[in-house]
Structure 1
């Protein structure tokens, strides 16, 4: 192998490797944890928390989502989603878990949301409430239950959580129309975030393919015999 041929092989391999990494990294960038929005809300208010899932368990379709309700929450009202059946699991007089079971398993790479309305304690300002979610799939399961520690790296399977802020003067109690609209707005924001992630993933994928094509062009150009002067 000549020096020129070796350089050609090296350039081609590097370009193709970069393209492959970008293309493969795109779906990974689009994949996210099981998340909750909003990430913070006021003490003493009714809040609609929207949980989002857009991936399976190592590629296996999702069959159910079991949300643990913190002890501080006295009641919870699940939002009906026609794609899922709903079961409230009681612990005494309060609901300790809400189980959403998919009517048709949610395929890996497809996104859906579930929403829970609940009153937040008036004395919870400054605290973080965690909502561990057990994601069960056709094959295997993923338990999103690891707490976030301030100043430390994010764990592999972080529990969805919200920060409770100071109470808002004149806050509503009772699920008014304004609060319902606010919940819908949060769901729309979550959808917009997911769309943004999908757009970034597509751009990365296209960029990876473009890098690969450039590598091939450079390789072909380098292999053409040069005419003697």
Structure 2
């Protein structure tokens, strides 16, 4: 009577499986964390304007100073700006410093209540861009003051340098050609649609609605960093569960139910 013996190949060591899974989880965490680090600065919207026009600039942030809540934003006004009118909004106390010509040189928004890290907040002001600024990029340095410490978002990339490599980039606004129309950037009424008193017809109204829609689209909030971290945590938890299942499957003996 011949007895045959079946030799089973040794299972892959559980420790190796665990290392692979942990490496994958670490890679996913870095993939999610890198964009978050890159987005951790003060944003300005819109980023492109026309010379000779007045635009509402909105400055947004969703982080503190190394976790410390934000107490104030101090915005420096660059040359090339003809006037600045801060927009009053609940929750902020506004102070201005002006030059000899009466044009504000610095605007300070102080929060009534410190803004916790991970919460998004915005401040805004109407800015008149001089026609002489056409074709240039203006930097609006922002000092973010916090309960503990502060961050000066004032770095400007040099020629050939990638702005994404900066640790604390200043918000930038590109100024295009001089806008057609008056100093407020309003388009002139067409000969066909303009009335005798200068009011616009339906065609101009439709154009205004289109501009309003574009403005709302540009002001759409960015992805919430907290939500993205939660999503990353879910991915890591899912991988951990997969590791447990694999290890249990490896540990079972033939014939186990």
- Equivalent position to 1:173, from 167, 184, 187: 184
Distance 1:184 1:101, change over 3 A: farther
Q: Which has the larger radius of gyration?
A: 2
Higher relative contact order (CA 8 A, sep 6+): 1
SS of 1:50 mapped into structure 2: strand
Gapped runs of 5+ residues in structure 2?
A: 1-9, 188-204
Distance 1:105 1:25, change over 3 A: farther
Gapped runs of 5+ residues in structure 1?
A: none
| RMSD, matched Cα | 3.1
Distance 1:19 1:138, change over 3 A: same
Residues in 2 aligned to 1:116 and 1:167: alpha-carbon distance in whole angstroms: 20
On the 8 A contact 1:63/1:101 being kept in 2, the answer is yes
- Equivalent position to 1:47, from 24, 48, 55: 55
Residue 79 (structure 2) aligns with: 71
What do the CA deviations read for 1:29-83 (whole angstroms, capped 9, x no partner)? 4453111011111111001111111001111111110000002213211111212
Distance 1:70 1:121, change over 3 A: same
Q: Could you tell me the TM-score, scaled by structure 2's length?
A: 0.74
Shift of 1:26: 4.3
Find out whether 1:217 has 2:223 as its counterpart: no
Question: For 1:1-229, what aligned pairs fall within 5 Å after superposition?
Answer: 4=11, 7-19=13-25, 22-23=28-29, 26=32, 29-30=35-36, 31-92=39-100, 93-154=102-163, 155-173=166-184, 186=215, 189-194=218-223, 201-227=229-255
Residue 5 (structure 2) aligns with: none
Residues in 1 aligned to 2:234 and 2:93: alpha-carbon distance in whole angstroms: 38
What do the CA deviations read for 1:140-169 (whole angstroms, capped 9, x no partner)? 111100002343122110000111011232
On the 8 A contact 1:132/1:143 being kept in 2, the answer is yes
Shift of 1:16: 3.3
On the 8 A contact 1:50/1:187 being kept in 2, the answer is no
Counting matched residue pairs gives: 223
What do the CA deviations read for 1:144-197 (whole angstroms, capped 9, x no partner)? 000023431221100001110112322552889999x968964663343345x6
Residues in 2 aligned to 1:48 and 1:42: alpha-carbon distance in whole angstroms: 12
